[in-house]
Amino acid sequence: MSYHLNLEEIRKEFKFETSIKHNPRTQQEFLPYTTKFKETQYNFREVVGEFMRLVGQKKLPEAVDAERLLSNVLDSISFGQPNQRAEFKQMIKTLFLDNNEQLYLFHPQTLYYINTIDNENKKLALFLYNVLWNQQRAWSVDSTGQDESDLMSTLLFKSLPELIGSSEGRKSYAVMIPEISNLFFLDFKWLTTKSELFTQQIEKIISYYYFFYVTQFAILSENLFNSIEQKIRPIYFTFEEEERLSKTRVSYEYGWKNIEKTIGRIFSHINLLKMLNFATVRQEEGSLNAPLSYQEIASCIREMPAEEQSTLEQQIDQLIEEYKQKLSGDSKWMLMGTFPERYDLPALNKIDQLFRLIDYQFNQTSRSKPYNEYRLWFVHFCQKTFLKSRGRSGKMLILDTDYLLFLTKMVIKDENKIRLRTLFEEFEARGMIFDRDTQTAIVDYFEKLNLLEKKSDSGDAIYVKAFL
């Protein structure tokens, strides 16, 4: 095993010859963000449409235009009197189009016809397709499942543009946590067997797994070269039915407050990971092409002979010196101070030092704007989904009742019931954990809905029943 930095490539891509340009575009990116945040970002309905087309390897030949669609439906019918056409048009609009003249999502196949206009939505959909679908075989809605006796729906589907085959699901983003991809595929495939639930909740599953993947990637990156006992590190959520939430709660300290700091440094990690992946990596089977995580890089270094590790140390020293020199104009390096060495190998400690340099200069110069705007893509999404303000406690990650019930259905799947303890363990496997007070609030809510079956007060003897 050998791992050596390609300093020439780093200098070239990060523009060392002028002034360093951070976050260069690479063949496989880690996240779909830019340093120019847009307030209007992420319409998840548009993201879902593009995601579904990527998964099915399908493409819309043209955007679905409401007026053209209505004309196609009406042209396929013969009317005895002129006024009948206008009346039928209004009926079709009422049945199938919302106030924004978008199709109601009443059947899984309608998901293919969601117009995805914004490029940022297309980019996010491609990212989610890459990291969640992870090269699984194409899957598409079975059109034979349509109810032919429903004349109105049949007319509509026949009037929609015919989808064409596409193989545009290119590999643009690196899969850094395949365990999440595997879980997503398991849950997604189950959801596809429930046609109505799939149509109603596809946005929820994609939205949650987006949160799940990005937070776990941030946690994994923040861990740097420390040993990892478990790959998934669940984040504390609270439940919207809880009345009292305070700063003394475990869910406050280890919920959003904790993950916000981690997300805050994500841009520094992206830049360091890109630098470290401009490298030559060889093992017995040949060269590696996929981007490596910090843990994989550390594993490579540990297996290298002492002389190769020494060569790598010299490369990192040179990279640190050049990086500091290029940014010496506004970065007051002397004010950084020193930091203790955290690792057993000099090369790892030097990489850790490089990370601190990158993060420091973003926070102490005018480059703090792109640094902060990069994270805002994700923070803004969280504010629209799971983050709620709870007075003096500030913002907390809160699971609403709709999400709780959907995720519970997804965990139970086709079983008649599941142990309460097992349900909470499955939530943890999907990156979500609750403190004792939140668990009690969830149990109380389940009891209100008559979803619990108690054989005793023991946690092992309490079951959550399946429900429609």
Asked if residues 211 and 430 have their Cβ atoms less than 8 Å apart, the reply is: no
CA dist., res. 334 & res. 332, Å (int)? 6
CA dist., res. 463 & res. 190, Å (int)? 21
Q: Which two tokens stand for residue 293?
A: 């995580």
Give the model confidence (pLDDT) of 31-63 as tens digits: 999 999 987 778 999 999 999 999 999 999 888
The pLDDT of residue 155 is: 87
Q: Which positions ≥6 away from 160 have C-beta within 8 Å? A: 64, 69, 72, 113
| Cα distances (Å, whole numbers) of residue 364 to 110, 140, 332, 335, 383 | 49, 50, 8, 10, 27
> What's the chain's average pLDDT?
90
pLDDT by residue for the chain (468 residues), tens digit each? Answer: 789 999 999 999 999 998 899 999 999 999 999 999 987 778 999 999 999 999 999 999 888 888 999 998 888 888 888 788 888 889 888 889 988 888 899 899 999 999 998 899 999 999 999 999 998 999 998 765 555 557 888 888 889 999 999 876 678 999 999 999 999 999 999 999 999 999 999 999 999 999 999 999 999 999 999 988 888 999 999 999 887 777 778 888 889 999 999 999 999 999 999 999 999 888 765 556 789 999 999 999 999 999 999 999 999 999 999 999 999 888 888 888 888 899 999 999 999 999 999 999 998 888 899 999 999 999 999 999 999 987 777 889 999 999 999 999 999 999 999 999 999 999 999 999 999 999 999 999 999 999 999 876 655 689 999 997
The pLDDT of residue 151 is: 82
Give the model confidence (pLDDT) of 257-301 as tens digits: 999 999 999 999 999 999 999 998 887 655 567 899 999 999 999
CA dist., res. 262 & res. 249, Å (int)? 20
| Sign for the pseudo-dihedral over CA of 368, 371, 375, 380 | positive
